Structure 1
Amino acid sequence: MTSEAPRSRPFHQVDVFSSEPYRGNPLAVVVDGEGMTAEQMQQFANWTNLSETTFLLPPTDSRADYRVRIFTGNEEFPFAGHPTLGSAHTWLESGGMPQSDGFLVQECAAGLVRVKSDDGRLAFAAPPLTRFGPVDESLRRQIGASLGLPDAELLDASWLVNGPEWIGVLLRSAQQVRALKPDFVAMGSLKLGVIGPEQGPAGTDFEVRTFIPGDAALEDPVTGSFNAGAAQWLIGSGRAPKQYVAAQGTMLGRAGRVHISAEGGDIWIGGDSTTCIRGSVLV
């Protein structure tokens, strides 16, 4: 299975989408992934037991500053949000120097992704949606059963695919989102992201929760890819302002904050990142 003998590689564990360490979404980053096979990367990602692990590599596209491969515990993703910000944070912290002033370019399986720094907070340009549009009636019924809500409470439901195959669900309020008790059996294979506007002075504009079914059904603490799709959907339809802050992870004891900003033709998805572990791994 191994292409070469294990060697020491720089390793960081980064907390993403929170200004409070240990209250965001953790990411494992192997700073030097050269010489590792996909099988080795997948095995190591499974071992870290985090939602995602990334491996930094030299770019194959001259326009990119670095390349990243993104793995969950059982599959490789072409793109994901918090791994993008956490990987960019680690690349810069490890001495990376962008080719361009003001932003860097990450190469991933989904293509090139621009990342900029805004007063120290990194933000990525939301990639285009590869599938977008309302779900059919049978899926709406399944979504309602999964969330324990009648169809009238689902203000809208849309495919928001930008790598992960999210379905976005809009509810009337953040309180409704926080009160959900999802049925993962009814959910089947659907990946659901649910968002609702805050009704009072909460310091944030929306509450988000994302549910990932499967053998290890879970709620994700903070999800950049879903928030990117949701921002394109809601800003594009006039149901969200051009700048807003979404809270996520509240029901998990986290303090995730996703900063959204529409500028020109881009929607930027930003968040704070903090390195919590720094060392090396033998792999």
Structure 2
Amino acid sequence: MTGGSFSYRLADVFARRRYEGNGVAVFLDPPRMSSADLQAVTVEIRQFESAYVWSTPAPAVFDTRIFVVDRELPFAGHPVLGTAAVLHERQLAADVPPNGVSRADASARWTLRLGQREVTVTSVPDGAGGFDVSMDQGRPEFGKPMPPAYREQVARALSLRPEDLHEDLPMQWASTGLAYLMVPVRGQALSRARIGTGDFGALLAEAGAQLAYVLDPDAREGRNWVNDGSVEDIATGSASGPAAAYLVRHRRADPALTVQLHQGRFLDRPSVMNVQVIGGPEQITHVTLSGHVCLTGTGTLDEPPGT
């Protein structure tokens, strides 16, 4: 590890304007640090996630690690989109043709290497300092519909009544890598939902799910928490693709149209996630997640931990 100052860029992902959406701190080519030191920097910044990105000999390919305040994540949607926007901003600042005309309308493709997984992301400047960024989330998978008794258990665990559940839609997990139990609700149930049990993770495991996504299919709005209920997520990119695919599978969304999902209203951080579902209800081949990214600020740390 080497000393010296290093900087980060703040990005708001799935945001229509600054100070909305889900925030991420992106460090481009910071000093090489141990996992413990990267965790310490993440705690210091205390953004929802922090992404650490290093150039490789291959053009537009970057080694990437994503941390939250208590652990490293193997993958997360909104830090990937935010990283692509920050990389594109850096490219625009450096890549100006000799005639002085910036290629500000050109798209760019980035490959982020997260451990053994490679994620390809496309970014396009919006002409106003932000970026529209998209990524292919792959082919969704679905679990079996859960029986009425289980539906009632989940409703109560989410501080809801069984009649708050949408009776025409199944409760089942959907996944493009992380299995979310889709909990379809109606009326004002979304505003009342909250995890009210300490063993919610075990209840989800009975269905083969890792997390829950409470979804109002009529309003196209969702909510998600960590399983102990202590933290609500502002915008869950890894759930939005499966949620849109779930709506198409059950003929509540037209695959010919972009499915726009909303989240974050209850945290005063409104977020908009756009999903294109490729295929029909019987055979969905893949989903593409996209969102707008606003760049909001820059910070500098004097030196890495331990120097």
Superposed pair shares fold, TM > 0.5: yes
Residue 172 of structure 1: CA displacement? 3.7
The question of whether the paired residues in 1 share the 8 Å contact of 2:107 and 2:122 is answered with no
**Residue matched to 2:275:** 260
When residues 219 and 184 of structure 1 are mapped into structure 2, their CA distance, relative to the original with a 3 A threshold, is farther
Write the distance in 2 (CA, Å) between the matches of 1:64 and 1:234.
Answer: 34
Please give the alpha-carbon distance, in whole angstroms, between the structure 2 residues aligned to 1:197 and 1:139.
Answer: 20
Q: Give the aligned partner of residue 219 of structure 1.
A: 232
Percent identity over paired residues: 25
Superimposed CA distance per residue, residues 204-243 of structure 1 (whole angstroms, 9 cap, x where no aligned partner): x5011111134x7111111111112222333344332221
- 2:143 alignment counterpart: 133
Gaps in structure 1 of 5+ consecutive residues: 199-204
Letter in 1 for 2:133: L
Q: What is the TM-score with the length of structure 1 in the denominator?
A: 0.81
In the alignment, what sits opposite 1:89? 85
Look up the match of 1:235.
248
TM superposition shift of 1:140: 4.1
Cα-to-partner distance string for 1:86-141 (whole Å, 9 max, x where unaligned): 111111112288xx965322222361222223554111111445x74137558645
The structure-2 alpha-carbon separation of the partners of 1:156 and 1:67, relative to structure 1 and needing over 3 Å to count, comes to farther
**1:27 — aligned with what?**
24
Q: Are positions 1:177 and 2:179 aligned together?
A: no
Once the two structures are TM-superposed, the CA of residue 252 in structure 1 deviates from its matched residue by 1.1
In the alignment, which of 49, 74, 83 is matched to residue 70 of structure 2?
74
Distance 1:188 1:11, change over 3 A: same
1:201 aligns with none
2 CA distance for matches of 1:23 and 1:183? 27
> CA offset at residue 35 of structure 1?
1.4
User: Which residue identity lines up with residue 213 of structure 1 in the other structure?
Assistant: N
Q: Residue by residue, what CA displacement relative to the aligned partner does 1:29-85 show, whole Å, maximum 9, x if unpaired?
A: 11124511112112222332232111002348x586222111111122111111111
Tell me which amino acid in the other structure corresponds to 1:72: V
Structure 1 residues 127, 34: CA separation in 2 closer, same or farther (over 3 Å shift)? farther
- Deviation by residue 1:180-226 (Cα, 9 ceiling, x = unmatched): 2431535246522111123xxxxxx5011111134x71111111111
Please state whether the residue corresponding to 1:211 is helix, strand or coil: coil
Aligned counterparts, 1:31-180, within 5 A? 31-59=28-56, 65-95=61-91, 103-109=109-115, 111-117=117-123, 120-128=131-139, 132-134=142-144, 140-151=151-162, 153=165, 155-172=169-186, 175-180=188-193
Aligned to 1:276: 296
The structure 2 residue matched to 1:192, chosen from 204, 209, 212, is 212
Letter in 1 for 2:24: L
Bigger Cα Rg: 2
**How many residues of Structure 1 are paired with residues of Structure 2 in the alignment?**
268
Q: Are the counterparts in 2 of residues 80 and 163 from structure 1 also a CA contact under 8 Å?
A: no
Secondary structure of 2:20's counterpart equals coil
| 2:15–2:293 CA contact under 8 A, matched in 1 | yes
Question: Tell me, which stretches of 5 or more residues in structure 2 are unaligned?
Answer: 96-105, 205-210, 280-284
Q: Distance in 2 between matches of 1:110 and 1:132?
A: 24
Q: Deviations over 1:253-272 (max 9, x none)?
A: 12101111135744211111
Question: How far apart are the structure 2 equivalents of 1:59 and 1:132?
Answer: 36
Q: CA RMSD in A?
A: 2.9
